[in-house]
Every structure is written in C-alpha cells, then in structure tokens.
Structure 1
C-alpha cells in the first residue's frame, strides 16, 4: 500500500514549502526513486523548475516539466499520470492526486497558512477514508 506522509513546517512562508519540496526531491532522487512533483498551477511548475536549477549549486537534480519529458527522473506537472510507476509523489496541489495508487510514497508539505492547513486536514481525512494510514512528521 502507498505510504502517505504529511511533512509539517513550523512557519507560514510559501517559499519554505517549495524549498522543502526541493530537499525531499533530492532525497528521493538520491535513493533512486523517480519523483513526480504535482503543482497547483502552471506558475508554480515554472517557479519550481527554476528553483531546482539553482537549489544546490554542487548537485544537479535531473528534472523537466512533465509535458516536455514525462520519463525524466524528476517530473514537474499537474494532473498527469506519472511517467514511472511506484515512485515518489510530492503533492503541492490542493487536492489528492487522481493517481495516488500509482506511487509507492506520497508526501504532502504543510505550512502554517490557515487555508493550506484546512486543505491538508481535508486531504488527511480523504486518505483515511480511502484506507490509507497517513502519518504526520514535524520538520
């Protein structure tokens, strides 16, 4: 069964959420997991694409937008199905991905913005209703 983790950040900085996504992407990729980063919109896709280029100057994370190369080790997209089965989904979208069952692991990144907290609590409930056992991890 897919492992679901909610990583909870201590602040409300939206940029911190994207930095956490980059760190978790690097960890997943270093452990030979294909990574799909599901963004909330095209603008966030572009922002994350740029951030991954500059995130670690000493380490290149091979990535691309899903629409340009779905087979890349790290794909950034929206509602697309993953190019690689059983990888890691980092969900920055507001709702559950329709492709949750195609991943071995899902990470939701939560910060202290009230509207994001409410959405993530709802996602947590939805995962439980679908039979998953989501876990909370404070960062």
Structure 2
C-alpha cells in the first residue's frame, strides 16, 4: 500500500448526515475520474444503499459506474460498494467503518475520515495509531468541497 489519507470533516458533516455521504460521493467521483477501481467499505447495508442511491442521483454528465457487491458485472463495476470487507484487489479503499479494514494490502490508497464529533474523532485516532503500528504514514487534510460547505 502506498498512501492513507484522512479527511478532516467540517462541523456540518457528522457521519450520520446526508452532507457526509454527499462528501463521500464527491471523493468517490475524484478517484473514479482518475480511472481508479474503488471499493467503498460502508458501515452497514443501509449506508451502502444510501451511497448507491446518491451516486445514481448525480448529474448524468458525472455518471459513475458502480454497483453494490453482488450486483452488476462479473468482477464488479469500477466502483463497488459493500459493508463486508472485500478480498478483491482495488486501487482505492474508501473506508467508512469504525475499525481498521482488513486486507489493507489489497489497496494502493486508503481514504479515511475524521468526523467532527468527539466519539468519531477518537475512533479515527485509534485507526491512525493502528496504521502507524503497521508501518504506514497516514496523511491528514481538511475536506473542502462545495457540497460539504455551501457558503
């Protein structure tokens, strides 16, 4: 694996709200347009389905070929969304779960998040420490996008 990037989310994007999921979709779009194969590891089935639906609602000019795990073409679409860890190799993992994802070696890039709430921040700190113990050097960057910050 080459990189782990933590996006520090603004106060308006708590993990459970739609602004957070819209921000996730924007990050998925960035990686998709770089021609990366992306796996989105959602917290649960409900979140995976919500991301799937938001991707379908994006502007047709910004279409992102995606599917939920088990649907779509053999081998999956360029963007696959699931709530169970994947054994398949992909370029990028968009990580939305509380615990560190298994099979990190299957990805060149991992995108993780530091939410605004204290409990979420603490969980992100724990993941950060695990990545460091694994010999990885996570980078942090404030998330900035018109979707997450309409001002």
What is the TM-score with the length of structure 2 in the denominator? 0.84
How many aligned residue pairs are there?
138
The runs of at least 4 consecutive aligned structure 1 residues that moved more than 6 Å come to none
How far residue 66 of structure 1 moved from its aligned partner, in angstroms, is: 1.2
- Determine the C-alpha separation between the residues in 1 that align with 2:51 and 2:59: 13
- Determine the C-alpha separation between the residues in 1 that align with 2:94 and 2:26: 11
The structure-2 alpha-carbon separation of the partners of 1:121 and 1:87, relative to structure 1 and needing over 3 Å to count, comes to: same
The reply on whether 1:71 has 2:76 as its aligned counterpart is yes
How far residue 82 of structure 1 moved from its aligned partner, in angstroms, is: 4.9
Which residue of structure 2 aligns with residue 120 of structure 1? 124
- Determine the C-alpha separation between the residues in 2 that align with 1:137 and 1:5: 7
Local SS of the residue matching 1:118: helix
How far residue 116 of structure 1 moved from its aligned partner, in angstroms, is: 1.1
Local SS of the residue matching 2:19: helix
Q: What is the aligned-residue RMSD (CA, Å)?
A: 1.5
Task: For 1:49-60, list aligned pairs within 5 A.
Answer: 49-60=52-63
Q: Structure 1, unaligned stretches of length 5 or more?
A: none
How far residue 16 of structure 1 moved from its aligned partner, in angstroms, is: 2.3
How far residue 115 of structure 1 moved from its aligned partner, in angstroms, is: 1.4
